[in-house]
Each structure stands twice: as structure tokens, then as C-alpha cells.
Amino acid sequence: MQPNSMTPHSAIRRGPPTEPLWVQRLLIAAAVLVLTVLIIVPVINIFAYALQDGVGAYWKHLTGDADTWHAIKLTLFVAPIAVVLNVLFGIAAAWLLTRFSFPGRTLLTSLIDLPFAVSPVVAGLMLVLLFGAKGWFGPYLQAANMKIIFATPGLVLATMFVTLPFVARELIPVMQAIGPDEELAAITLGANGWQMFWRVTLPNIKWGLLYGVILCNGRAMGEFGAVYVVSGHIAGQTDTMPLRVEKLFQDFNLPASFAVASLLTLLSLVTIVLKVILENWKDVEVPE
């Protein structure tokens, strides 16, 4: 609702009855206090401790330690792979669940959310039981000389597991709302499946998709529990950034730990900013 778009009619639209001003002020103050104590001070604390020895020391903590540097690179390698795999899964699942009706569709829809209900630690453990040396596939993997658990593929799998629902969850409501009419029109006009997807479906879902990607990526870079279990935390090999934070913390190297944590915090702040920008764009493109 922008003031300049007010017509006489919408100008008469009333808000609900409201509280006395002092009650409003009190509640606002309480809310701001909650946010300050729970969120704002902690964020400031992270940067304050990360930078307590100056920018030079901060930079050295991040780049001077080979294991930390490796962890940064590993996270930036693992997260995008997991995101891409989940984008493919999300699009396939959303297409399946919103464009076809088949027995078991409702069940499948709720199954997609299941990874959210599984403790990350349990998720990691399940993957170990499946792909570990003594797991179901262990002997075959060993025979093929492939290592998944305590290696990068395990990190990808664990990350993928905990972020599995993100993209599908964003796309399903969007595709449901749009409905199949435009795609049916494209088919009747002679488009084949890929043409329909690239020219009609994808442009319609691009914002929802991007939104899902941003949320998925944020979570992927920060995942701890599941990755912790499958990584075996071998410094310089399978330590991602969050794992590195914990290791440095256990070694009482607080400044270094906070330096890595500040980098992750920065990433999550970027995630939030992107999310806000995207929400504004969506509002601009689809006026109510």
C-alpha cells in the first residue's frame, strides 16, 4: 500500500482497533529488546571477537592456517554441488507433485519434508550405516576403490540430505498457484517437453527457484551435525568451515574460531539481504 496509489475508496480502508500509545511503545520496546539480546548483540559479539587483535591478525587467521584455508575452499566446493543436486531434485519433485495426480501423491508430498524432522546427527549416522566401511554398500565401494564416508562425497550427501526439502518446498506452492494451463497451451502450440520447460515453466518459477537456492545454499554452507558425523573431521581433508569453527574452539584458539565464524556470519547476512531483495523484486513484478 503506497500513499500515492490511494484512491478514495482504499483511503477509507481502516486498520483494526488499536491499543493506547503507551502500550504500543512498551510492546515495541520489549520486541526491540528481545531482538537486541537474542540476535543483534550476538552478531556484534562475533565480529568484535574476530577482529579483537586487528584486521591483520584476522586475515592471518583465515589465510595463514592451511587447514582453515582448506576448510573454506571445501565448503565453497561442497555447498554448490549439493545446491545444484537439490535444484534438480526440487524441480523434478515439484513438477511431479503439481502436474500429475497419481496414487500416493499426498504421501510423497509429506515425505519430502521428512529430512527436516530428522536430527542432523541421525541423518549423518544413517549415511554412515549405508556407505561406511562396514555399511550396506561398504564392501562394494571398497571393491570399486571409492570412499564416501570420511571423504568429500559423504559431505555432499550429508549436506544434500539436510537441505533436500528446500527447493521443492519453495517451488510446489508457486507451481500449484500458477497451474498447468500455460504449459498445456505450450504443448498444444507444438512445443516439446524441453521447449515447454525452458520457455514457459522456468520463467514462471524463476523467483521461487532463486529463493529456494538462496535458502538452500545458506543452510548448506552452515550445516554442522550431519557433516560432523560423516566427515571423521580430518583437518585439511574433510573439515568444512563450521567443523573448523568447532575444532579451533576445542583447541582454545578463540580468535581463529571467531574469525571463521565471522565469515559464516557474513555469508548468512548476505543470504538474508538477498532474500529481502528478492522479496522486493517479487513484489514489484507481481503487483497484488
Partner 1 sequence: MSIHIANVTKRFGEFTALDKVSLDVPSGDLLALLGPSGSGKTTLLRIIAGLEHADDGVVRYEGEDVTNKAPKDREVGFVFQHYALFRHMSVFENVAFGLRIRNTPKAEVNARVKELLHLVRLEGLGSRYPAQLSGGQRQRVALARALAVRPRMLLLDEPFGALDAKVRQELRQWLRQLHDEMHVTTVFVTHDQEEAFEVADHVVVMRAGKIEQAGSPQDVFDHPASPFVMDFLGQVNVFHGRLQDGQMHVGNIAVNYPEYTHAESRDATAYIRPHEVELERLPGDGTRLPVKVLHVNPAGAVTRVRVLSEAFGWSLNVELRPERYAELALRPGDQVFAVPKRVRVFMSDDYAI
Partner 2 sequence: MKRKRILPGYNLTLGYTMAVLSLMLFLPLAALILRATSLGPKEFVAAVWTERARAAYLLTVGTSFAAAIVDTVLGLLLAWVLVRYEFPGKRICDSLIDLPFALPTAVAGLVYSNLYVEKGWFGRYLVPLGFQGAYSQTAIVLVLAFIGLPFVVRTVQPVLESLDADIEEAAESLGASRWQTFWKVIIPALQPALITGFALTFARGLGEYGSVVFVSGNMPFKTEIAAVLVVSRLEEFAYTEATAIALVLLAGSFAMLAAINGLEWWSRRYAA
Q: Which does 6 bind (CB under 5 to 8 A by kind): partner 1, partner 2, none?
A: partner 1
Question: In the complex with partner 1, which residue's Cβ is closer, 6 or 121?
Answer: 6
Rounded to a whole number of angstroms, the minimum distance from the CB of residue 262 to partner 2 is 8
Going by C-alpha positions, the residue among 232, 222, 216 that lies closest to residue 124 is: 232
Between 13 and 32, how does the x/- string for binding to partner 1 read (CB under 8 A)?
Answer: -x------------------
Q: Which does 150 bind (CB under 5 to 8 A by kind): partner 1, partner 2, none?
A: none
Rounded to a whole number of angstroms, the minimum distance from the CB of residue 18 to partner 1 is 12
Rounded to a whole number of angstroms, the minimum distance from the CB of residue 177 to partner 1 is 22
Query: Does the protein bind partner 1 through residue 4 (CB under 8 A)?
Result: no
- CA distance linking residue 239 with residue 243, whole number of Å: 5
Choice from 2, 4, 5, 11 touching partner 1 (CB under 8 A): 11
Which residue shows C-alpha cell 497451474? 179
Q: Which does 8 bind (CB under 5 to 8 A by kind): partner 1, partner 2, none?
A: partner 1
With left for phi above 0 and alpha for psi between -120 and 50, is residue 54 left, alpha or beta?
Answer: left
- For 94-125, the DSSP string reads HHHHHH---TTHHHHHHHHTHHHHS-HHHHHH
Which among 8-16, 182-190, 239-247, 250-258 is the span making contact with partner 1, rule CB under 8 A? 8-16
Buried b (16+ CB within 10 A) or exposed e, 232-258: ebeeeebbbbbbbbbbbeeeebebbbb
Q: Which does 76 bind (CB under 5 to 8 A by kind): partner 2, partner 1, none?
A: none
Rounded to a whole number of angstroms, the minimum distance from the CB of residue 9 to partner 1 is 6
Going by C-alpha positions, the residue among 229, 232, 237, 227 that lies closest to residue 264 is: 227
Alpha helices in the chain (DSSP H): 8-11, 21-35, 41-50, 54-63, 66-99, 105-112, 114-117, 120-131, 138-143, 152-163, 165-178, 181-188, 193-196, 202-222, 225-231, 241-250, 254-285
Rounded to a whole number of angstroms, the minimum distance from the CB of residue 38 to partner 2 is 5
Choice from 1, 4, 5, 12 touching partner 1 (CB under 8 A): 12
Rounded to a whole number of angstroms, the minimum distance from the CB of residue 16 to partner 1 is 11
Which residues are near partner 1 by CB under 8 A?
Answer: 3, 6, 8-9, 11-12, 14
